[in-house]
A = this chain, B = another copy of it.
Amino acid sequence: MNPETSGAGALPPVGAAAPEVPTHGPGADAVHGTRLDPWLHAYADRAHSMKASEIRALFAVANRPEVVSLAGGMPYLEGLPLDALGEMSHRVLANRGTTALQYGSAQGDETLREQILEVMALEGIEAHSDDVVVTTGSQQALDLVTRIFINPGDVVVAEAPSYVGALGVFRAHQADVVHVPLDAAGLIPAALEETLASLARAGRSVKLLYTVPNFHNPAGVTLSAERRPQILEIARRYGVLVLEDNPYGLLGFEGDPIPAMRSLDTDGVVYLGSFSKTFAPGYRIGWAVAPHAVREKLVLASESAILCPSNASQLAISAYLETCDWRGQIKAFCELYRERRDAMVGALAEHLPDASWTVPDGGFYTWVKLPAGLDSKAMLPRAVTARVAYVPGTAFYANGEGSDHMRLSFCFPSPERIREGVRRLAGVVAGESELVSLFGVSGARTHDDVQQPGPNVS
């Protein structure tokens, strides 16, 4: 049993495992009217660890228009030239329709892979198009890399906190995630060294170091240029492959991007990129750059998983990169998100002076530490009742930590909505703080302990 699915979570997990009442194969009678899963006996071991992410459970509630969602990581797309993109799509289908609508290569369209090299060059990466594998979003690349390297019980080292979607992939492949702390300059080299040494002494099989070096999700920090070679050197010394996940790297608010880790190390890094944040996630196009032999495995694994990425999507993005000012579009996104970051940190300073938070130099997220005694997961139903949503910090840890933090995203709502959301959040925090000072415990947390009806989330 996964403790997180069996706990009395404030929001019902979507797709939680069916109750494990006795069953004897398909056709077993329902007991006490409970709807049984006739295939419960047949699932693979890994399926028992599949559980809904807290972000996903949130979406159903937080998508209501009256809720200010500071939860999701959806980019803001209204600024895209939609009519021009439509015309471009028309031309692609009219002129190259029999290619766009046909099966393609498992590795991805050659022209698009060449163009991806230009995108990556902005972060100092030199590669060959043959090193690139196009995937269904970089999430698929994450899944494929994990599939290729992880046996059940293998260790993945990841920042504390780490991207919830990556933790879900690692869990689905029955990896053990070991967290390493980060600070304002990103992953801490000494802490990484200590963790890897300790894992080596324990005889553990450590396969991957998963890291989001730029504008970290959820922590908002960036790995400094000084630390990058240090981290790579430590990983190399312990024989651990670095999985560099970089969806936000071009969305910096100040100065030029820091060179990617992949620009410093060709053989020890699998690099993941994406068009989801710098252009549009709806095409589901990301990519991996990997050492030669790993790239071959990635192509085979992708072929097995989906045959090939969508030619329609690839040709649309290829046409966009060829005919539109994509660098200008990224610059416009940076300005948009900087304004929202400023609205977020300004509102936090005004309304939540007892909390602390990171001030990101780019990307979508800030990581907020709550005043002492508050539990972000327990507080969430109250927040949603107050029409504001966030992601509790526990979502970003594989070990149940993080309840004193929350992730706030500033990518999607307008600056005004962000300020209103933080204002609402401050009211919730004040109410919770009062409960804590009166009773010494976060009010909603009694729900978990004594199974009383929880706060109404609707």
Interface size class of A (residues with CB under 8 A): 35 or more
Chain A 75-96 interface mask (CB, 8 Å, partner B; 1/0): 1011010110111011111100
Q: Quick check: A267 and B312 within 8 Å, CB to CB?
A: no
Chain A 291-329 interface mask (CB, 8 Å, partner B; 1/0): 111101101110111111111110010000000000000
Residues of B contacting A316 in the complex (Cβ-Cβ under 8 angstroms): 312
Q: Quick check: B104 and A282 within 8 Å, CB to CB?
A: yes
Instruction: Give the residue among A40, A89, A304 with the most B Cβ atoms within 10 A.
Output: A304
CB distance from A241 to the nearest CB of B (A): 6
Residues of B contacting A100 in the complex (Cβ-Cβ under 8 angstroms): 282
Binds B, one of A145-153, A217-225, A393-401: A145-153
Query: A44-B148, A102-B74, A306-B137 are contacts. A86–B91 as well, Cβ < 8 Å?
Result: yes
Q: Quick check: B50 and A304 within 8 Å, CB to CB?
A: yes
Q: Say yes or no: is A376 at the interface (Cβ < 8 Å to chain B).
A: no
Residues of B contacting A267 in the complex (Cβ-Cβ under 8 angstroms): 26, 38
Residues of B contacting A89 in the complex (Cβ-Cβ under 8 angstroms): 86, 89-90, 93
Q: Quick check: A292 and B140 within 8 Å, CB to CB?
A: no
Instruction: Please measure, in the bound complex, the distance between the C-alpha atom of A309 and the C-alpha atom of B91, giving whole angstroms.
Output: 24
CB distance from A57 to the nearest CB of B (A): 11
Closest to A294 in B: B39
Instruction: Please measure, in the bound complex, the distance between the C-alpha atom of A283 and the C-alpha atom of B2, giving whole angstroms.
Output: 36
Q: Say yes or no: is A358 at the interface (Cβ < 8 Å to chain B).
A: no
CB distance from A43 to the nearest CB of B (A): 6
Residues of B contacting A41 in the complex (Cβ-Cβ under 8 angstroms): 239
Q: Quick check: B307 and A27 within 8 Å, CB to CB?
A: no
Q: Quick check: A50 and B284 within 8 Å, CB to CB?
A: no
Residues of B contacting A268 in the complex (Cβ-Cβ under 8 angstroms): 26
Q: Say yes or no: is A37 at the interface (Cβ < 8 Å to chain B).
A: yes
Q: Among B39, B93, B148, which residue has its beta carbon within 8 angstroms of that of A293?
A: B39
Binds B, one of A165-173, A384-392, A402-410: A165-173
Q: Say yes or no: is A368 at the interface (Cβ < 8 Å to chain B).
A: no
Instruction: Please measure, in the bound complex, the distance between the C-alpha atom of A335 and the C-alpha atom of B274, giving whole angstroms.
Output: 42
Q: Say yes or no: is A280 at the interface (Cβ < 8 Å to chain B).
A: yes
Residues of B contacting A25 in the complex (Cβ-Cβ under 8 angstroms): 239
Q: Quick check: B53 and A303 within 8 Å, CB to CB?
A: yes
Instruction: Please measure, in the bound complex, the distance between the C-alpha atom of A71 and the C-alpha atom of B304, giving whole angstroms.
Output: 18
Q: Say yes or no: is A281 at the interface (Cβ < 8 Å to chain B).
A: yes
12 contacts between A and B (CB under 8 A): A15-B299, A37-B292, A43-B149, A44-B154, A53-B303, A82-B93, A82-B98, A86-B93, A137-B306, A147-B172, A282-B312, A312-B316
